[in-house]
Amino acid sequence: MPKDKIAQLLKSPQPANSLSKVLGQSERVKDIVEECADDLSSVNAGLKSELLDGETSPGVENALEKSEAVEGKVQNASEELSLVNMALKEELQKRAILQERLAAEILQGEKARHASLHDPLTGLPNRALFNDRLEHGLAHAKRNGISLVVMFVDLDDFKSINDTHGHDVGDIVLKTIAGRIKQASRDEDTVCRHGGDEFLYILVEIKNERDITTIAEKIIATISAPCDIRIRDVNISLVIQPSIGVAMFPADGTTADSLVANADKAMYEAKRNKSGFTLFSSL
């Protein structure tokens, strides 16, 4: 729908419900006018009948002519009201169609925006949304002098799952792991799929390394629980071990890029040592 029509609908001075009210009032007036026209017609018919039966006087004939003229005006008014009411009904129908189209376009726009900011497989925020939230988180942390943590999570030997069981199984595993990490996270934190079998996790207002250790261990335990999958009538049980790298603002970086890069370095160290997780500060 063209933008000018959407703007016209949104700026309309008379909403559809007001028009419906006006239409109802107009139809009631039309009914009254039609009743008056019918009454005048009956009166005039009676007068004509009486005049035919008796003597006529110029005054009575003049009154009858005036009454018939009024009857004609009332009938014309009734016809004009019918046209007005038809126009109002058409306007209501047009507005209803425009509102439906507008609602559909708004919904489509919301779906498109969601798709542009979320991973299609897992439904998690994608890198674009992650970067936006990380920038906002850093700005908040700098203003308030608080900490912020970036965790880089990688699934060990994930390629072998795709090679052995196929990408369908791999996708199920990724969705399962994504759901587990999301469920283990706090409402104020952000989990995103960085790509492939990698996830990024923003944690705000973490007080010390002990809290980081507790959270990292919780994520490892959550991820490494067996994934029981049934696909094509085959049951598969897989255990995935993650490697996590941790970088904290401001000690390990003061920008989004530096924090992600240092968390990535720490993750590779955790993978090399098979330690589960590694703090960048310990490298």
- Residue 63's nearest CA partner among 75, 55, 51 is 51
Residue 195 region by backbone torsions, left for phi larger than 0, else alpha for psi between -120 and 50, else beta: left
Distance CA 137, CA 131 (A): 10
Distance CA 76, CA 70 (A): 10
Any catalytic annotation for residue 197? Answer: yes
Question: With contact defined as beta carbons under 8 Å apart, do 256 and 138 qualify?
Answer: yes
- Name the active-site residue from 119, 154, 189, 197: 197
Residues present in the chain in total: 283
Which residues lie closer than 8 Å to 160 by C-beta, 6 or more apart? none
Question: With contact defined as beta carbons under 8 Å apart, do 162 and 255 qualify?
Answer: no
Distance CA 61, CA 42 (A): 16
For tokens 């897992």, name the residue: 122
Calculate helix-pair angle for 256-273, 127-144, nearest 10 degrees. 110
Which residues lie closer than 8 Å to 31 by C-beta, 6 or more apart? none
| Residues that are catalytic | 197
